[in-house]
Structures are given as structure tokens and as C-alpha cells.
Structure 1
């Protein structure tokens, strides 16, 4: 049994016994692991926000309050990924926004690795599209072509495709210039309620090799941009 499955099983074991506490030794024997492993797992559940608690002394042990948790719900990987994306893209100013973000983190933590990676990519894309649709500032976590990570606030102007990749074209407040960010290199995208300034997509691109990029159908044609070529990696990796 891998750790993710064991964490779920631990919760269900505690739920089944509630309100009676279970000792670490009993749980370790049940799952055939060391007591230290069970202790770490229980602490991880507490850190994740589950109502797991420990009582010391005679008759003590670990227990969970079943009234404050949901019973297990069987989602397919696709359903869980869709929920992760929707929750992660929740507007920070919306009711229950903080709860939505932690719920997205919990779902992502138990998805298969490949599905979780797809869900993260879709969540980043959803956050970018939300910022474009609402005209709001986006907080990006980005890894450039050399693997250097950075965090910055950007004002999105549009999406373009070039060389088989999608790019977010935005005004970067850190560099005080137009920049292109490859969507598959965005490692985090958090919406903010702050309005973005108006930016002309063509103006941000003018004079760069990105002029040959193809805009999606939803964007206005860039008639004045005629220079061929793909996006210039030096100018569009957030450096």
C-alpha cells in the first residue's frame, strides 16, 4: 500500500472507530508499518486540516471527528482533475476562496502523478484565462529556459501560439516591459482582485520576433505585425 492509499485508509479506520481513539501501535499493526510511519502520517493529516487529534494517558490514542469530514467519494481521475482546476481557479475575492484553494491542494495531493500534472497545467491555464477575461493582475511563478524560477505580477494582454507552444503576452511589472511566458513553464498562477492597466497586444509585441505568432480566433488579428519567426526565447522567458 502506497502512502496516499494509507492516508485514506487511516482516515477511514479512525472514522469507523470514532469516537473511540485508536493507539499508534494498533494502527501500525493494522497497516503493517512502523509506529514512526503511522505517527508521521497522522501528523500529515493534521497539517492538511483534517480534524484528527491525539489524547494522552490511559485509554488515549488518535481519533477523528466524523461530523466535520465527508465520507469517501469515488471520483474518476478525470472528475478529480476537473474539480482541482475549478477550485484552483476560484477568484481570491469570492466567498470560500481560501477553502477552495486548500480543497484543490488536497485533491491534487491524491491524484495519480500524470493526472495531477495535467490538472496543474489546466489550473494554470484557467487562471490565465480568468485574468484575461476579467482584466485583472496575475501573480506568476515561472521557470525560464535555463530553469531559473521567479515570481512576478503581470498584466495579461493576450494568448498567442508559436513554435508549437502557447504564450501569455503580458506587461511585466518587475521588468517594466512586455514579456511572453510559455504556458508550460508557468509553475503557479494566482488570480488577484487588482485591475490591470489597458495594454495593446500588438504594442507589446511590436519590434520582436514574436510578431509572427498566431493569435487564437478569439483575439483580434495583428495586421500591422508582419515580421516572420517564432517567439524570441531571450525576450519571452521572463528574464
Structure 2
């Protein structure tokens, strides 16, 4: 996470628990940086006008002005349940950390009665899988937004491992499996890389060229692709 993203995430974390404080140590562990880095970030936010203040004492920490928190979401328990179930289905995907963060934000701004009703309903919903962990690397979650070329180490079905530079184009999810769709420079073509076979992934400093991802390029032998859409 770069500093700009961390500053935004700090504000959202304090919003979610306002008016309760968070200690610098807790925030440092949450964002995997030092307490000194967190204190510098909070100071920068304060200087930019964000209403954050420090509460002294053993149980103190940093909090944000409750009047500047986000307004409650106008979600019914059924709508909140649909959101949490949908996000829960991403638990093995490259977006699992963002999904977990989104769930915390949704629940943080719900009123107590709606939250209790949603929690009771959610406790009656379960996911069935085959018990095999097939988590895609969490580092893949932000590659589309970054627009950078990736260097990945990939292990094929026979166990052979190769290192490739790839240009991320999109994702395909099938059950609990997630595939990174990318232009593979090693093979000079579009390839699908199953998430649990990606041993490591590291963004380079090179911006990937614009390429169009067409369903026919994927050569899917069965099933139909369904795109994710966000409507108004």
C-alpha cells in the first residue's frame, strides 16, 4: 500500500470506529508500518485539515470528529445481507482483503438494530467448498488499477515453474478458483493464470500498454462469461 492509499485508509478506519479512538500501535499493526510512520501520517492529515485529535492516557489514541463521519447507509437488513454474502464469496479471491475491509465499513455505519438482524440472518448462510485452499495471492487485487506490468512466478499443472512478465487484462472467477487473464510476453499471447499456481507476483515500474480483452481471446470450451456491472 502506498502512502496516499494509506492516508485515505487511515481516515476510513477512524471514521468506522468514531468516536472511539485507535492507538498508534494498533494502527501501525493494521497497516504494517511503524508507529512513527503512523504518527507522521496522522500529523500530515491534521495539517491538511482533517479533524483528527489525540486522546491522552492508557486507553487513548487518535479519533476523528464524529460530525465528519460518513452518513449511515440506507440499507435494509436484506440489502446489507446481500452485500455481505456477495463480499463473503470473495474470500479466496485476489480481492479478499478489500472485501473484508468493505464489510467492516458497511457494518460500522449500520444502526444497532439493523446490524443485529443482518448478523442473525448471515449466521444461517454457509458456503460449501471441497476443503482445498485455493487462495489467489492477495497482491493481485490491485493490479488492474495500477496498470503496471507484473513479473510472476507461475507453476503449471505438472509442477514446472517459469518466471514471466505479464500485462494484466482482467479476471475470471469459476467457483472458488480465480484466474488472472493477462498478455503473456513469454508466450506472446493472452493466457489465463490460475491464482493458486501463481507463486509470487511483483509489480514492475513499467506501465502496461492498452490492450482490449475480448471474450473470444479466452478460448473457453464450456460455460458462458458473465460480466460484473455497476449500475445506477
**Class of the TM-score when normalised by the shorter of the 2 chains:** 0.3 to 0.5
TM-score (ref. length: structure 2) = 0.39
TM-score (ref. length: structure 1) = 0.38
Q: Which has the larger radius of gyration?
A: 1
